[in-house]
C-alpha cells in the first residue's frame, strides 16, 4: 500500500511535493539485533550503556515498541529492572525504566534493615542526530538525557548524597562494521549519579557532575547471535560507599524476530560498601 | 555491408538487453554501474562456491522475493529474466568470480520502484537465508553485505 502511494507521489511530483512524512506508517522491518537490547537505564543499546540506535523494530517509516525485564543477581545483592521504550521513525526514542536494588542481608549491616530496597524511576529520551548503525558512511550518532528520581529520598541523603534526583546527559557513537561483523560503540556521559542514581546524586567527595566513558564491542556470530563485552566508567562521589567501574561479557540471542535474550557475566565491583559484586545479568526483551 | 558491420559492433558494445528480456532505455555500460569495487583474490568467490553457488543464491533469493508478502509487490511487472541475469553478474563481479557487470547503475535500476528501508532489509533477510542454504560462512556473508550496504542511498526512495 505504502509503495503504491509512493508511486502516486512520484507521478504527481510535478505538482506536489511528497515528503516521507506523507507516507502511511509502516511498522517493523529493522534488521535482527540492530535495535540492541535494553540497557539498565532503559535506553536501547548494550546492557550497561546506550548505543546510538533507536528502540523498537521500526524503520524510518514507522513506530516501534520494546519492553524488557532484567535481573542481575550478584554476590550479596539482587538487582532487577523493567521498562518500555517507544521508537519514532528510527529517529527518536522515549524510554521508562523502574529499577529495584535489594540489599538482602547487607541492609541490616548498613543499619537500613535486612532486605532494604532501593528503587528509582528513569525517564529517558534519545535522538539519533546523524548516520546509521549499518548503512551510512557515517556511524550512528545520538544524544540523550535520562531523568532519574530515587524512591528513597531520606536514606540517600543520609548516605551523603546531595540530591534524590538528577539527570544524565550523554552522547553516543555506534557502528556495525559489516566487513568484520564487529559492532563498536562509545558513549560519553555527564552524570552526578551514585550507582546509576539508586544511591542518589552527588556526594561529599564529588558534588558536581563528571564526564564518564562507556563502551561496547560485539562480534556477530550469526544472524541471531552476538557476543561481546562492555565497560562503564563510574563516578565515585560518596565517601562511605566506594564505587567501581563496571564490566560485562555477554551473549545475545534473537530467539525470534521479536524476542531477544541476553545472558552476561558482570562485575559491578564495590557496591554500597561491599566489594566483589559479580554475578549474572539476564534479560528478556520483546520488540515490535 | 558497412552499415551492418557498424550495427553489429554497436550491438556488441552496448548490451542493453539480451534475447528474452524487455528493451531498456539506452545507457552506458560500465563496471562502475555495479556500485562497488570487487573483492581482491579468490577467497570470496570460493566462499560462495563460484559461479554455480552464486547462481543458486540468486535463484533462491529471487524466488523467495517474488513470493514474499512484504516485497513481492515491488517485482510485479518487473523483467525477471533481466533482473536474474544482471543481479547474478553484479554479485559475480563483486565477488571476483569471473564476470563483468553489464547492467544499469543502482539509481537507474531502482528508479520509481518506491523501495523503502524496510523493503531493503527484507531483501537482505531473504539473501541471508539463501546464503545460509548455500552454506556460505556468516563472516563472508557479512563481507558481501558490506559492499551492498552503501548502495542503500541509491535504492531507497526518500
Domain boundaries, chain A: 28-287
CB contact under 8 A, A60 and B138: no
Q: Which of residues 54-73 of B touch A (CB under 8 A)?
A: 70, 73
pLDDT over 90 at A260, yes or no: yes
Q: Which residues in chain A touch residue B132, judged by CB atoms under 8 angstroms apart?
A: 223
What's the rounded mean pLDDT across residues B54-73? 97
Grid cell for residue B32: 562502475
What's the rounded mean pLDDT across residues A131-157? 96
Q: Which residues in chain A touch residue B142, judged by CB atoms under 8 angstroms apart?
A: 178-181, 220
What's the rounded mean pLDDT across residues A254-270? 97
pLDDT digits (tens, 9 = 90+) for B31-58: 999 999 999 999 999 999 999 999 999 9
What's the rounded mean pLDDT across residues A97-117? 96
User: Which among A61, A178, A222 is the nearest to B149, CB-wise?
Assistant: A178
pLDDT of residue B77: 87
Q: Which of A16-25, A203-212, A220-229, B141-150 has the lowest mean pLDDT?
A: A16-25
pLDDT of residue A13: 40
CB contact under 8 A, B122 and A29: yes
pLDDT digits (tens, 9 = 90+) for A64-82: 999 999 999 999 999 999 9
- By C-alpha distance, the chain A residue nearest B151 is A135
A149 touches chain B (CB under 8 A): no
User: Which among A6, A60, A180 is the nearest to B117, CB-wise?
Assistant: A60
Contact A80, A283 (CB under 8 A): no
pLDDT of residue B155: 95
CATH 3.30.70.2080 for domain A28-287: no
What's the rounded mean pLDDT across residues B86-92? 97
Q: Residue B25 — pLDDT band, cuts 50, 70, 90? A: confident
Give the C-alpha separation, A193 to A195, whole Å: 6
Q: Residue B15 — pLDDT band, cuts 50, 70, 90? A: low
Give the C-alpha separation, A6 to B65, whole Å: 20
What's the rounded mean pLDDT across residues B4-14? 50
User: Which among A10, A28, A177 is the nearest to B118, CB-wise?
Assistant: A28
B37 touches chain A (CB under 8 A): no
pLDDT over 90 at A230, yes or no: yes
User: Which among B119, B142, B150 is the nearest to A181, CB-wise?
Assistant: B142
What's the rounded mean pLDDT across residues A198-218? 97
Please tell me the total number of residues recorded for chain B in this structure: 158
Count CA atoms closer than 13 A to B49's CA, side-chain side.
15
Interface ipTM > 0.95: no
pLDDT over 90 at A48, yes or no: yes
CB contact under 8 A, A3 and B132: no
For an interface test with A, give the residue of B116, B120, B124, B150 to mutate (most A CBs within 10 A): B116
Q: CA-CA-CA-CA torsion for B129, A176, B74, A4, nearest 10 degrees?
A: 140
Contact A221, A227 (CB under 8 A): yes
Q: Which domains does chain B have, with CATH numbers?
A: 31-155 (1.10.490.10)
Q: How far is B25 from chain A (nearest CA, A)?
A: 19
Q: Residue A137 — pLDDT band, cuts 50, 70, 90? A: confident
pLDDT over 90 at A6, yes or no: no
CB contact under 8 A, A7 and B122: no
Give the C-alpha separation, A110 to B87, whole Å: 68
Q: Which of A26, A47, A43, A44 is nearest to A35 (CA)?
A: A44
Map residue A44 onto helix, strand or coil: strand
Amino acid at each position: 500500500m505504502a509503495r503504491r502511494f509512493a508511486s502516486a507521489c512520484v507521478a504527481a511530483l510535478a505538482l506536489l511535493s511528497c515528503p516521507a512524512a506523507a507516507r502511511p506508517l509502516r511498522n517493523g522491518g529493522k534488521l535482527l539485533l540492530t535495535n540492541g537490547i535494553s540497557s539498565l537505564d532503559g535506553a536501547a543499546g548494550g546492557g550497561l550503556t546506550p548505543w546510538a540506535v533507536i528502540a523498537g523494530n521500526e524503520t524510518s517509516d514507522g513506530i516501534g515498541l520494546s519492553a524488557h525485564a532484567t535481573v542481575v543477581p550478584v554476590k550479596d545483592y539482587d538487582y532487577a529492572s523493567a521498562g518500555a521504550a517507544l521508537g519514532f521513525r528510527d529517529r527518536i526514542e522515549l524510554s521508562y525504566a523502574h529499577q529495584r536494588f535489594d540489599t538482602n542481608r547487607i541492609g541490616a549491616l548498613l543499619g537500613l534493615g535486612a532486605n532494604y530496597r532501593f528503587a528509582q524511576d528513569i525517564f529517558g529520551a534519545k535522538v539519533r542526530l546523524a548516520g546509521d548503525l549499518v548503512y551510512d558512511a557515517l556511524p550512528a550518532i545520538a544524544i540523550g538525557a535520562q531523568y532519574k528520581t530515587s524512591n528513597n529520598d531520606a536514606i540517600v541523603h543520609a548516605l551523603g548524597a546531595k540530591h534524590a534526583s538528577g539527570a544524565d546527559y550523554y552522547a553516543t557513537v555506534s557502528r556495525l562494521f559489516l566487513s568484520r561483523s564487529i559492532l563498536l560503540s562509545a558513549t560519553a556521559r555527564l552524570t552526578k549519579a551514585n550507582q546509576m542514581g539508586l544511591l542518589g546524586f552527588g556526594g561529599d567527595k564529588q558534588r558536581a557532575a563528571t564526564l564518564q566513558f562507556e563502551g561496547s564491542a560485539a562480534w556477530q556470530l550469526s544472524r541471531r547471535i552476538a557476543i561481546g563485552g562492555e565497560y562503564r566508567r563510574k563516578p565515585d562521589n560518596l565517601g562511605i560507599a566506594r564505587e567501581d567501574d563496571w564490566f560485562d561479557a555477554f551473549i545475545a540471542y534473537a530467539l525470534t524476530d521479536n524476542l531477544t535474550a541476553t545472558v552476561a557475566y558482570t562485575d559491578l565491583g564495590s557496591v554500597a560498601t561491599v566489594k566483589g559484586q559479580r554475578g549474572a545479568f539476564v534479560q528478556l526483551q520483546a520488540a515490535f | 555491408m558497412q552499415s551492418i558491420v557498424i550495427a553489429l559492433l554497436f550491438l556488441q558494445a552496448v548490451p542493453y538487453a539480451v534475447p528474452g528480456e524487455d528493451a531498456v532505455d539506452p545507457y552506458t555500460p560500465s563496471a562502475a554501474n555495479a556500485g562497488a569495487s570487487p573483492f581482491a583474490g579468490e577467497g570470496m568467490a570460493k566462499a560462495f562456491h563460484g559461479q554455480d553457488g552464486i547462481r543458486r543464491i540468486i535463484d533462491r533469493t529471487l524466488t523467495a522475493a517474488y513470493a514474499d508478502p512484504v516485497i513481492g509487490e515491488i517485482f510485479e511487472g518487473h523483467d525477471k529474466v533481466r533482473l536474474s541475469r544482471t543481479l547474478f553478474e553484479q554479485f559475480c563481479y563483486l565477488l571476483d568470480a569471473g564476470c563483468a557487470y553489464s547492467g544499469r547503475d543502482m539509481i537507474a535500476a531502482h528508479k520509481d520502484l518506491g523501495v523503502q528501508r524496510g523493503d531493503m532489509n527484507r531483501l537482505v533477510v531473504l539473501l541471508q537465508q539463501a546464503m545460509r542454504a548455500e552454506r556460505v560462512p556468516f563472516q563472508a556473508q557479512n563481507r558481501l553485505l558490506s559492499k551492498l550496504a552503501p548502495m542503500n542511498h541509491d535504492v531507497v526512495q526518500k
